[in-house]
Amino acid sequence: MIFYIVLQFTVLIFAITIHEYAHGLVAYKLGDPTAKYMGRLTLNPLVHIDPFGTIILPLLLTLAHIPPIGWAKPVPVNFMSLKNPKRDMFWVGLAGPFANFLMAIALSIIIKLIPMLAHTIFGQVILYGIIINVILAVFNLIPIPPLDGSRIISAMLPYQYLTIYNKIQPYGFLIIILLLWTGILRKLIFAVVSIVIRYLGIHISF
């Protein structure tokens, strides 16, 4: 039991690290060096850890036998330093979830090419990696601040609607916790995750 909790938690940490690194890398490529100057453009997990989002919440979910959801400290981005702030906000926001989807696809290809791994500890790590990366991608695409989906929506909204949308930002964290607590968010996330994993050709039941 403890072994598998540690295993899931370790996979989650690396998935979150890749997610945040992708945000910083895309922002850097589009003209904003803030993440690099602040030491966040790195694959070192320690610099990305958020005490609640990376440790406490995922641990509580894992102990409740729920695949973990979490987040890291957001990579700092100065959108005014981007070449085209409104357009590039879309790509920076999409980068993290996209990186997680790419990881899930890569891992699903590995498990298909080497099927004998499925019954080994390495196979278990790969399966956890697929599940957790897809969960992170789907979770972060929800358009509630401060999740990445809110950046994507903000980049697409006309200015007059953007000011209205931004008014929910101070309450975003509370909305997320409330939706998690009621179970609404969990049902929504795992419905989408199940579809994505099925399309990846992986047979896992939640």
C-alpha to C-alpha distance for 169 and 164, rounded to whole angstroms: 10
The pLDDT, as a whole number, for residue 152 is 95
The pLDDT, as a whole number, for residue 102 is 98
**Is-catalytic flag, 27?**
no
C-alpha to C-alpha distance for 93 and 184, rounded to whole angstroms: 24
Residue 206 has pLDDT above 80, yes or no: no
- Residue 84 in any domain: the answer is yes
- Residue 204 in any domain: the answer is no
Mean pLDDT of 135-139: 94
Q: Count the Cβ atoms, other than its own, within 10 Å of residue 184.
A: 11
Reported as a pLDDT band with limits 50, 70 and 90, residue 186 is confident
C-alpha to C-alpha distance for 93 and 99, rounded to whole angstroms: 11
Domain count, the chain: 1
C-alpha to C-alpha distance for 6 and 8, rounded to whole angstroms: 6
Residue 118 has pLDDT above 80, yes or no: no
- Residue 206 in any domain: the answer is no
**Residue 125 belongs to domain spanning:** 2-199
- Residue 144 in any domain: the answer is yes
- Residue 94 in any domain: the answer is yes
- Residue 205 in any domain: the answer is no
- Residue 153 in any domain: the answer is yes
Structure tokens that stand for 186 in this block: 């969990």
- Residue 159 in any domain: the answer is yes
- Catalytic residue selected from 20, 32, 88, 148: 20
